[in-house]
Amino acid sequence: MQATATKLKGRRGDSVLFEDVSFTLTRGEALVVTGPNGAGKSTLLRVLAGLLAADSGRFTLAGDDGAELPVAEFTHYLGHRNAMKRELRVSENLAFWQRFQAPESGRGLSIDAAIDAVELGGVAHLPFGYLSAGQQRRIALARLLVAHRPLWLLDEPTAALDKRSDQLFADLVRAHLAEGGMAIAATHQPLGLDAVRSLELSGRHRAASASAESWS
């Protein structure tokens, strides 16, 4: 399986945030996107997830046999918000996403195993809204485990997490990569992952109409 971005260009309103972003990821590889606030890290991830249209360029996933796969169905997107309902119990939230995002292969951890994997055993019966911000983030990470999808797009995954959970998160991503998954993460913090590629967005904006400028 291979994820390929070709000359992606994205913008917010009139200012071009990034241009000529190209990379290739294969099984077991991770890409960390860095850059100052407003450099377009979130925009890049949303473009990759298909939630925003790229100005030009494209992002594709190809299976092991070379056939193109629909990005949305093989990708987990973890945005700034956790995509969990405060009114529902943790287990109900996870069970919903498990059933909703169930992949063809049917792989993925059980709800309890996923909650244990983020070291929050015993909170399954609590309403999601009762958890602290860090615990909520960890449950949001558990969502990535209950339904297996090969590519993870993570936007500030460690926001609100303490040091110990940072480590836990790095372990989860490592395990995912070791299984042949891929991950693209936008973050300010070092994730403690070794052997990852990095992509730096400079954050120097320009008006969409101005002359071309190199961003590499």
Partner 1 sequence: MMALLKRDLAIATRSGGAAMLGVLFFLAVVAVIPFGIGPDLNLLARIGPAILWIGALLASLLGLDRLFQADREDGSLDLLLMQDWLALVATVFVKCLAHWLATGLPLVLAAPLLGLLMNMSALSTGAVMLTLLAGTPAISFIGAVGAAIAVALPRGGLLVSILILPLAIPVLIFGVSASYAAVTDPDPFWPPFMILSAIALFFAALGPVAAAAALKGASD
**Chain residues that interact with partner 1, rule: CB under 8 A:** 46, 49-52, 70, 72-73, 75, 77, 79-88, 92, 95-97, 99-101
Minimum Å gap between C-beta 13 and partner 1 is 10
Nearer to partner 1, 33 or 174 (CB): 33
Nearer to partner 1, 18 or 97 (CB): 97
Minimum Å gap between C-beta 70 and partner 1 is 6
Burial 121-156 (b: 16+ CB within 10 A, else e): eebbeeebeebeebbbbbbbbbbbbbbbbbbbbbbb
Nearer to partner 1, 52 or 196 (CB): 52
Closest by alpha carbon to 103, among 65, 147, 153, 151? Answer: 147
Minimum Å gap between C-beta 79 and partner 1 is 5
Nearer to partner 1, 161 or 174 (CB): 161
Minimum Å gap between C-beta 18 and partner 1 is 17
Q: What is the CA radius of gyration of the chain?
A: 17
In the DSSP assignment, the letter for residue 20 is: E
Angle 136-158-84 from CA coordinates, rounded to 5°:
30
Q: Quick one: tokens of 191?
A: 């994730």
